[in-house]
Amino acid sequence: MIPNMLVVALAALVPVVVGFLYYSPVTFGNAWMKVTGLTKEKLEEGNRLLLFIVTLLLSFILSFFLFTLVVHQTHYYSLFVAEPGFNEEGSAIMNQIDTFMEAYGGYYRTFKHGAFHGGLIGVFIGLPIIMINGLFEKKGFKYGFINAGYWMVTLALMGGILCQWG
């Protein structure tokens, strides 16, 4: 199952948009700067264009992979990759796959379902990784919860978008 690459690209914008809102001074920006030891001046240093280009590239990679985690039908195809006639239009195996996908291909393809799985990924993968790094870097729990919270929200939104429209 090939994702809609336009939707994958649009979902890749979510980390930037959510980051702009999440790390603003109105929300968690001041607390985040305090626990990281950053200042506004320090944040303005460096090549910001390069920062955003790399961020978008990495977000696209994340979005593409996240699609396979929130759209369960992608796994069905993997069962038949080694079968003779796989990916050949009109072959027996492709007819079987097409029949199955016509019947079940739309199951669980909702924003709610994708957001649920994206959020779970944030909780069970993002939180432990960020928390472990933060603790070893002596940043503390607050640092971990602020950053993991960002990824939980971001992955939930990305997952919802990818599952509904991807």
Q: pLDDT value at position 1?
A: 78
Share of the chain above pLDDT 90, in %: 96
pLDDT tens digits, one per residue of 46-84: 999 999 999 999 999 999 999 999 999 998 988 999 999
Mean of per-residue pLDDT scores for the chain: 96
Per-residue pLDDT tens digits for 120-136: 999 999 999 999 999 99
- For 18-27, what is the mean pLDDT? 97
The structural domains of the chain, with segments of one domain joined by +, span 5-72+108-165
- Cα separation values, 153 from 23, 80, 121, 156, Å: 12, 34, 10, 5
Q: What is the pLDDT of residues 146-155, one digit of tens each?
A: 999 999 999 9
> Pseudo-torsion of CA 110, 12, 119, 81, nearest 10°?
70
